[in-house]
Amino acid sequence: MPQRVLVLNGPNLGRLGSREPDVYGSTTYAGLVERCTKLGAELGFDVEVRETNDEGEMIRWLHEAADGKLPVVINPGAFTHYSYGMRDAASQRTAPLIEVHISNPHAREEFRHTSVISAVASGTIAGFGIGSYELALRALATA
């Protein structure tokens, strides 16, 4: 049975393809889902991709992952910079958790330079567009 992996996306990521394509690229959210599930299957994973604009829902998903010992790839979106509740939920991880970002937050506005998630993540991958997710899945395959 393939290892289940959650790919969790925070606010506004469901608008990929139409939201600031100069920053986030032209791949749609559906394209992201397709790329993650296809690569996941090649790596022996059962990948489930989710997106929410609701901080509480994201925290519940992180609890689900911790309780189920599920690896997580997470793009917290704007929650990255201020959600201590999400940070505390991520710190309860029982399997690898990789933080990803499509753009390089350190090359953008100053408020994006701080991540409250990074300190409790297994690692962070940023700046490679949608490829950041693929790099994270490959890292999980070797973890």
Instruction: Please enumerate, by residue number, every residue annotated as part of a binding site for substrate.
Output: 75, 81, 88, 102-103, 112
The whole-angstrom separation of Cα 117 and Cα 102 is 16
Provide the annotated binding site.
75, 81, 88, 102-103, 112
Q: How do strand 72-75 and strand 123-126 relate by DSSP bridges?
A: unpaired
Length of the chain: 143
Write out the catalytic residue numbers. Answer: 24, 101
Q: What single string gives the DSSP state of each residue in 86-128?
A: HHHHHTT-SS-EEEEESS-GGGS-GGGG--SSGGGSSEEEESS
Distance, CA of 40 to CA of 58 (rounded, Å): 21
Whether 116 contacts 83, CB under 8 Å: yes
Order of all β-strands in the sheet with 123-126:
45-51, 3-9, 72-75, 97-101, 123-126
